[in-house]
Amino acid sequence: MNISKSIFLTAVRCMSNKPTSNNEIMPFIYNRNPRNLERLRLARKPKGYPFEKQLVEYWHRLSLTTTRAAVIAELIHNSGNVVIRVSTLDWSIRQFLYSCRDTQAYIILARVFAERCMESGFTCMASDVIYHEGTKVELFLKELLKEGISLREPTVFNIHDKWRVPREKRPWTVLE
């Protein structure tokens, strides 16, 4: 549907004199939130290719980057777009820090990142951050868990298709 026709139909609906009721059923449903199916766990996760450096088998992924001057936490969508980005170089965080890369910086960064994720509605994300016990990264991840962020995405809800027949293993197939 082109834009001019859509605007015209909207204007006609707004200018009509007949009263509207909430009991009417709309003939069309427009999905104005394309990521809604991801939140409902109905969208398929992209599988990617097996020879790629980073497999894209997530909806949202946590990325923690340490540079020479700062620490950056990002929430990345599987399309590659950065949804939420928090850095210790942001003035709202930096004014409370002694150093941009010490232990307290990681903890405060995790709290701010978790707060912004919760405000945006992201409570679970995939995490492939590698850490060792007793490091600053471990403190960052523990603080995220304490704030209510889950570091594993929920499983995809598979709709049962009653017309699909499960295939059995044939006796002559080799399973090695």
| Residue 1 located in a structural domain | no
| Residue 135 located in a structural domain | yes
User: CA 166, CA 42: separation in Å to the nearest integer?
Assistant: 21
| Residue 78 located in a structural domain | yes
pLDDT at position 17 is: 57
Q: Is the confidence at residue 68, as pLDDT, over 80?
A: yes
In terms of residue numbers, what domain contains 102?
60-147
CATH of the domain at 101: 3.30.420.80
| Residue 52 located in a structural domain | no
Retrieve residue 57's tokens. Answer: 């088998």
The rounded mean pLDDT for the chain is: 83
Q: How confident is the model at residue 150 (pLDDT cuts 50, 70, 90)?
A: very high
pLDDT at position 69 is: 92
Closest by CA to 141, choosing from 55, 149, 124, is: 149
What does pTM read for this prediction?
A: 0.72
| Residue 90 located in a structural domain | yes
Number of domains composing the chain: 1
| Residue 54 located in a structural domain | no
pLDDT at position 137 is: 94
The 10s digit of each residue's pLDDT in 4-62 is: 555 555 555 555 556 656 667 777 777 777 778 888 888 888 887 777 777 788 899 99
User: CA 146, CA 32: separation in Å to the nearest integer?
Assistant: 33
| Residue 68 located in a structural domain | yes
| Residue 85 located in a structural domain | yes
Measured in degrees and rounded to the nearest 5, phi and psi for residue 50 equal: -70, -20
